[in-house]
Amino acid sequence: MVRRATVQVMVLTVLVVSSTGAWAAGAANTEPKTPEKFGTFCGPCHGQAGKGDGPAAAALNPKPRNFTDGKYMNTRTDTQLINVIKNGSAAEKLSPLMVGYGSILNDQEIKEIVAFIRSLAVPKYQSKK
């Protein structure tokens, strides 16, 4: 069990490092838009459409969250989602496999990714103001 978890973390690390390098190389020309950032940082596990079916998902246990599942996603607050993206999913007592991106993405970029994730949920998210 420990060996499988180690392999899963190694797969994630390779995917994140390789995709982050591609994003950084393109950053010199123009700043990527939010869907591109989502694809780079979230897509390898969560899938390009956010359904939890990215290329790394097959090797992960638990499986990545399906962001299109509004029944679950609409129960999560923006603060919780920001915390997960910034500090990793363990920060919200979820899977320890997702790393945080707070050292790569600034607060505004993280908020934009949360808004993008919200746009994927069906039924659509209703702000709790």
Q: pLDDT tens string for the chain (129 positions)?
A: 545 554 454 445 444 444 444 444 444 567 889 999 999 999 999 999 999 999 999 999 999 999 999 999 999 999 999 999 999 999 999 999 999 999 999 999 999 999 999 999 998 877 665
Secondary structure letter of residue 69 according to DSSP: B
Residue 48: CB partners within 8 Å, gap ≥ 6? 39, 54
The answer to the question of residue 127 being in a domain is: no
57 exposed, middle or buried (CB, 10 Å; 0-12, 13-18, 19+)?
middle
Q: pTM to 2 decimals?
A: 0.76
35, 68 in Cβ contact below 8 A? no
The answer to the question of residue 126 being in a domain is: no
The answer to the question of residue 129 being in a domain is: no
- Find the length of the chain: 129
119, 127 in Cβ contact below 8 A? no
Residue 95 lies in domain:
2-120
